[in-house]
Amino acid sequence: MSKKIILIVDDSEFDRKLLHGALTKKSDLDVVEASSGDQCLQILSQQRVDLVLMDIMMPGTIGTQVLTKIREKFNAIELPIIMVTSKADASDVVSCLQTGANDYIAKPVHFDVAVSRISTHLKLAELSQEMSRLKEMAALDAMVITYNHQINNPLAIALGCLNEPLFVDQVMGEKLTSSLWRIADIVKKITVLTEKKEIEYQQYLGTSKMIKIS
């Protein structure tokens, strides 16, 4: 299993290096750094990141604004975000949590606490993703059972009717036979999907997706 990747976002190089050194020393994590909100967003668009550790107060685009932009693409399960704050005002913390942060830690950072909270949120994300996958597989299984019952039975009857002598239009019969067997093949491929551990999707229309079956 590959190491989890943590992204530290802080305009202070001293604070970044301090956190970087502590996290790599006290945990089995890979750490990358961003010195600004824009750099953070750029990194997230280019590589996998498992958790973001971000300072609230930064020049330019502040942490809460970056948080809002991140949440437009990643939900709290896909990408946990822990805010780091030196401000004592509870309203700032509440604002971050309402905007989509998973948690927060205060400066000066207690490194054992930071590692513990990071570990907790990474595990919660894994469990949530696994539960989503299991629900997805259960829904797919139910769909396959429905397809088998609702489509396979009338499909078999339709294919049988094509052999009747009264069906005299050969061209239309060939087209209909090809279409019906195509439907039968799709149902069979959907059934095979339940044997896989992962479901693949492909783009359909706009933001819609469909299950990849071939």
pLDDT at residue 179 greater than cutoff 60: yes
Average pLDDT, the chain: 81
83: number of Cβ within 10 Å: 25
Q: Say what the pLDDT of residue 120 is.
A: 94
Q: Say what the pLDDT of residue 198 is.
A: 64
pLDDT at residue 79 greater than cutoff 90: yes
The residue among 202 and 108 whose pLDDT is bigger is 108
% of the chain at pLDDT higher than 70: 74
Q: Are 29 and 4 in contact (CB under 8 A)?
A: yes
Q: Say what the pLDDT of residue 204 is.
A: 62
Query: Poorest-confidence range of 4-13, 28-37, 57-66, 121-130?
Result: 57-66
Q: Say what the pLDDT of residue 196 is.
A: 62
Q: Say what the pLDDT of residue 209 is.
A: 61
Query: For residues 211 and 209, what is the distance between their CA atoms, to the nearest angstrom?
Result: 7
> What pLDDT, in 10s, does the model give residues 82-97?
999 876 567 778 888 8
**81 sits in which H/E element:** strand 81-85
pLDDT at residue 17 greater than cutoff 90: yes
Q: For residues 126-141, give the mean pLDDT.
A: 77
CA distances from 44 to 19, 71, 185, 212 (A): 19, 12, 40, 26
